[in-house]
Structure 1
Amino acid sequence: MSVRGIRGAITVNANEEGPILKATLELLNGIVNANGLDPHDICNVFITVTQDLDATFPASAIRQMAGWELVPLMCALEVPVKGSLEKCIRLMVLVNTDKTQQQIEHVYYGGAQALRPDLSRP
């Protein structure tokens, strides 16, 4: 078994608590479903947001999910590079798995598909 990183990102339309929490759950559920994950196999989840998303902590949405109460979560600001994608939430999920790097499914939704078109699926 190895520790693998699974990336994901999603954009939101507004800097409001509801859309941020909803998008966080959508993204995490997409990663979980695409990779067949169980919360007990998660090492941690690192969450970043662009500096224009400050209405809430995205981790608070994950804390409400059954089985995720003990998963270590951390939120941080994404590096504010001029001209970069706005209103974006990114996740790095570290998981114990038997999957190879090639078998890992990364998830990009909405405008975030532009970040990694090589990994994005329609």
Structure 2
Amino acid sequence: MPLKLAIASHRDPACTVVAMDGELDATTRGKAGKALEDLLARGCDRLVLDVSGLGFCDSGGLWLLLDVSRKAGRSGGWVRLAGADGFLRRLLALTHLDSAFALDPDVAASLTGVSGAAPPSPGAQDG
């Protein structure tokens, strides 16, 4: 059975929130990449990725998140990860990518972190 991924986004005054639910791996990376690239192409380069609904993420999924963060940064934006707990938090720590992202316990904390106009610093861990 192929792994599935659902992606939904909405604009907030300070950023775009993208909820990712399901599995982020080789079978879903293309769908996720297209959705995130489309947002970047529309000028949505301040992204809060709600990853609390991910049940799995492989190394390719991590590379996708890192690539999107780099592309957003090139245009003056950024990426925050909200809800990276359990396996994903351990995977980020093992690969030392926890310092590449601002990590927040949930979307509410991310939105609080970006409500002042200053961009978040990578690796900042709230909570």
The alignment's TM-score, normalised by the length of structure 1, stands at 0.36
Of structures 1 and 2, the one with the larger relative CO (CA 8 A, separation 6+) is: 1
Which is richer in helix? 2
